[in-house]
Amino acid sequence: MKLNEFTIKEVVKGLEEKRFSSLDVTKDCLNSIKKQEKDLNAFITVTEELVLKQAKESDSRRAKGGTLSTLDGVPVAIKDNMAVKDFPTTAGSKILEDFVPSYDAFVVQKLKESGAVIIGKTNMDEFAMGSSTESSHFGSTKNPHDLERVPGGSSGGSAVAVAADEAICALGSDTGGSIRQPASFCGVVGFKPTYGAVSRNGLFAMASSLDQIGPITKTVEDAEILFENICDYDKKDSTSNEKGIETVGKNNGNIDLKNLKVGVLKDGFGDGVEDGVKKNVVETVERLKKEGAIVEEIDIEVLKYALAVYYVLMPVEVSSNLGRYDGIKYGYSVEKEKDIEIKNLLDVYSKSRTKGFGAEAKRRIILGAYASSAGYIDQYYLQAKKVAVKIRQEFDKIFENYDVIISPTAPTTAFKLGEKSDPLSMYLGDIFTVPANIAGLPSISIPCGKVDGLPVGLQITGQRWEDKKVLSIARAIEKVISGQE
């Protein structure tokens, strides 16, 4: 194996045993990027000189016996909606194509403090709006299992970087499944932590009440390692939950599959779910039964409203959050264009936003502005907030009787590029992932087989602040799937 094909754990062990250096691992990752990027387009920015400098600094620390953490020297890719100082950070949008932050996002700061090597910024759907990484201003990312298919989204670049061994691990963000769905499509592990467990400070907001940063890795154990390095209280983020984070830290998550109570979502085997996806999930469930797990089918009636709730709440928050991109403060402005006539300040606003945002961003801004307007806010937004509370309460009842809920991560395997030109058909792909965001729950996707060479993801969702428990259960199920149990 080449070093870029290693897991975090394998890289850490090799570095500790001095079998290779961080520079060796980083060079292998950079070589992999050079060989594959023409086909994959997983990265927006890779600054080789800066990357190699970080690796050399890590090796120097290790030579002096002063490593910063277990992640010291490990190459990590960062989704391009998280600020990295002196690295272009675009959120996949023309409106930020030349923006270079003067600060680090909290999670990036944590990674730098741990000595990780930031290898580059990954491609994504514009402002994280999409499920295919086709809406990026910088072109579509391709699935490494089939270059004619999407990698999922919006963290498609991060998922591909890990799946194609261009990075050892990566960070993504998840607003309605944007970590888990691309992880499913690319055959890697994607973990969305409890809302408030990881600071959103420095994340370019899409929908503030739903966004959460999390790891994309090759194994569940790696996901836990990366999660532990970014899960920390941040006083600069009002949604960072200090007591909840303390709860996560106290829960060691040691789980035995025997007598584990698992609720299998009935809708996971209904209409619209591909037969191959159902087959792989059913086979995994049967294996869990053989291991002694108590598995029961559950029907959460209120979940039929989850997708509708999400696509009201999210656009309203998008409309508000993207209001700051006005062609004045920073980012793209039509004032730079010589062939565009500007008569007044309103022209700067409207024409900058018209040219700066892509079609999907505009669609969601318009939907959100409409749903939150004076005549409709009670009818749409406030009703959606009420149903969101009901969904959260229903999950609380379910977790009184079950340890986790299992379902397919996505109803299909990766679809072809350009196949879903109708936005509604794209939105329906989020049906199993959005409920965890609405209720703020920890949820993970792990590979559970393939259909015609395309990966299938199994989603495991748990109660708030039981992140370690969910990770432990996922690790045990991962072993069962791989035949290690």
Among all residues, which ones are annotated catalytic?
79, 154, 178
**Integer Cα distance of 475 and 18 in angstroms:** 28
Interhelix angle for 48-63 vs 22-40, to 10°?
160
DSSP 194: P
**Integer Cα distance of 119 and 136 in angstroms:** 20
Q: Tell me the two tokens of residue 208.
A: 């503030």
41: left (phi over 0), alpha (psi -120 to 50) or beta: left
Task: Say if residues 101 and 90 touch (Cβ distance below 8 Å).
Answer: no
Task: Say if residues 409 and 445 touch (Cβ distance below 8 Å).
Answer: yes
DSSP string, 303-323: GGGHHHHHHHHHHHHHHHHGG
**Integer Cα distance of 186 and 179 in angstroms:** 11
130: left (phi over 0), alpha (psi -120 to 50) or beta: left
**Integer Cα distance of 483 and 471 in angstroms:** 18
Task: Say if residues 108 and 82 touch (Cβ distance below 8 Å).
Answer: yes
**Integer Cα distance of 28 and 6 in angstroms:** 11
Q: Which residues pair with 213 in a beta bridge?
A: 173
**Integer Cα distance of 352 and 336 in angstroms:** 10
Do the strands 261-265 and 43-45 form a parallel or antiparallel pair, or are they unpaired?
Answer: unpaired
Element (H, E) at 438: helix 434-439
Task: Say if residues 83 and 199 touch (Cβ distance below 8 Å).
Answer: no
Q: What is the CA 327 to chain-centroid distance, rounded?
A: 28
Q: Side chain identity at 222, as an amino acid letter?
A: D
**Backbone phi, then psi, for 451, in 5-degree steps?**
-125, 115
Q: Tell me the two tokens of residue 72.
A: 């010291």
**Integer Cα distance of 241 and 442 in angstroms:** 14
**Integer Cα distance of 90 and 137 in angstroms:** 9
**Integer Cα distance of 1 and 46 in angstroms:** 24
